[in-house]
Amino acid sequence: MRLWPRRRREDAERPDVTRARIRHSLDDPRPDLTGEDVQAHPEALYRSDDPVVEG
Protein backbone atom coordinates (compact mmCIF):
# COMPACT_ATOMS: atom_id res chain seq x y z
CA MET A 1 0.00 0.00 0.00
CA ARG A 2 2.97 2.32 0.53
CA LEU A 3 3.86 2.08 -3.13
CA TRP A 4 0.70 3.85 -4.28
CA PRO A 5 1.51 7.29 -2.73
CA ARG A 6 5.10 7.06 -3.95
CA ARG A 7 3.93 6.19 -7.46
CA ARG A 8 1.49 9.11 -7.47
CA ARG A 9 4.25 11.48 -6.32
CA GLU A 10 6.65 10.18 -9.00
CA ASP A 11 3.97 10.50 -11.67
CA ALA A 12 3.30 14.07 -10.55
CA GLU A 13 7.01 14.93 -10.73
CA ARG A 14 7.59 13.40 -14.16
CA PRO A 15 6.26 16.36 -16.23
CA ASP A 16 8.45 18.76 -14.23
CA VAL A 17 11.52 16.64 -14.92
CA THR A 18 10.66 16.46 -18.62
CA ARG A 19 10.16 20.23 -18.81
CA ALA A 20 13.50 20.79 -17.08
CA ARG A 21 15.28 18.51 -19.57
CA ILE A 22 13.66 20.28 -22.50
CA ARG A 23 14.53 23.71 -21.08
CA HIS A 24 18.14 22.59 -20.54
CA SER A 25 18.31 21.40 -24.15
CA LEU A 26 16.84 24.62 -25.53
CA ASP A 27 19.23 26.73 -23.44
CA ASP A 28 22.29 24.78 -24.64
CA PRO A 29 24.65 27.37 -26.19
CA ARG A 30 26.34 24.89 -28.52
CA PRO A 31 25.48 25.20 -32.23
CA ASP A 32 22.96 22.79 -33.74
CA LEU A 33 24.34 19.73 -35.49
CA THR A 34 23.99 19.44 -39.23
CA GLY A 35 22.72 16.30 -40.90
CA GLU A 36 26.28 15.55 -41.96
CA ASP A 37 27.51 15.84 -38.37
CA VAL A 38 24.86 13.43 -37.17
CA GLN A 39 25.61 10.93 -39.93
CA ALA A 40 29.40 11.13 -39.41
CA HIS A 41 29.28 9.79 -35.85
CA PRO A 42 27.88 6.29 -36.54
CA GLU A 43 29.92 6.02 -39.73
CA ALA A 44 33.08 6.75 -37.74
CA LEU A 45 32.08 4.07 -35.23
CA TYR A 46 31.72 1.46 -37.96
CA ARG A 47 35.10 2.41 -39.42
CA SER A 48 36.70 2.09 -35.99
CA ASP A 49 39.40 -0.48 -35.22
CA ASP A 50 37.49 -1.35 -32.05
CA PRO A 51 36.83 -5.13 -32.08
CA VAL A 52 33.55 -4.64 -30.23
CA VAL A 53 32.21 -2.58 -33.12
CA GLU A 54 33.45 -5.03 -35.72
CA GLY A 55 31.35 -7.75 -34.15
pLDDT digits over 28-40, tens only? 999 988 989 888 8
pLDDT digits over 1-55, tens only? 677 888 888 888 899 999 999 999 999 999 988 989 888 888 777 776 655 544 4
Count of helix runs (H) and strand runs (E) in the chain = 3, 0
Contact at 8 Å (CB) between 53 and 45? Answer: yes
